[in-house]
Structure 1
């Protein structure tokens, strides 16, 4: 039996409709910005906090729109599944004003229609989120 890690993740789009993916230091898979909730924190509060910490984007937790909750294989931790609560941030964002911070090594804005061209996406993205987006 695998360990289960609860995380919150947020879909964020730029002015051209591209989805932001991030790669954390020491990993090879791109995923949504996000992370584990702290004690007493709701999934939306965790998503909001993680956006601020990882990419400097401030979004009120109450404005995040729930996309879904899924359990899948963790991208970067062996023998671990994730229970991911995925949100969409409101509006669109200027990609030039967003920079990697904290544990984020790299940002990549991805046209969702081109997602099948990438072999370095986290399972949560490929198995759950992208199919929901019609890709």
Structure 2
């Protein structure tokens, strides 16, 4: 794998109102789906569960995570790098709180951008995918 590729696992977290959660890491501007880097030897869903626990104090059952596919786009916070994301979808009905490197969280209506600066992958691929699933529902 190219050293300019960052492999992550991330989630479209959906609350009971159909809103989706975006996070902003400390010292950055762009909001994105929660998740993070996949460690060597770790399965993507395991990385997702670990990252959600570390970043949001959210404990998930990996078996409940629905795999959406693998998506790639420019890294929001690391110029010259590409993010390769294994994306999952999860419905949650518990409160989440920012922890670790997460500075801010926002629940947004997926039909818009919440007036937030979005990471390229979120803006160009992930939110449009979620919107399309709502329109087709």
Q: TM-score, normalised by structure 1?
A: 0.89
Alpha-carbon distance between aligned partners in 2 of 1:50 and 1:5, rounded to the nearest angstrom: 15
Over the aligned positions, Cα root-mean-square deviation in angstroms equals: 1.7
Shift, 1:119, TM fit? 4.8
**What residue ranges of structure 2 are gaps of 5+ in the alignment?**
133-137
Alpha-carbon distance between aligned partners in 2 of 1:101 and 1:8, rounded to the nearest angstrom: 17
Secondary structure of residue in 1 paired with 2:112: helix
Alpha-carbon distance between aligned partners in 1 of 2:111 and 2:67, rounded to the nearest angstrom: 22
Shift, 1:114, TM fit? 2.1
Secondary structure of residue in 2 paired with 1:84: strand
Note if contact 1:11-1:86 (Cα within 8 Å) is conserved in structure 2. yes
Query: Which of 104, 108, 127 lines up with 2:106 in the alignment?
Result: 108
Q: TM-score, normalised by structure 2?
A: 0.88
Deviation per residue, 1:81-125 (Å, 9 max, x gap) = 010111011x3324xx2110000000010101122x535011111
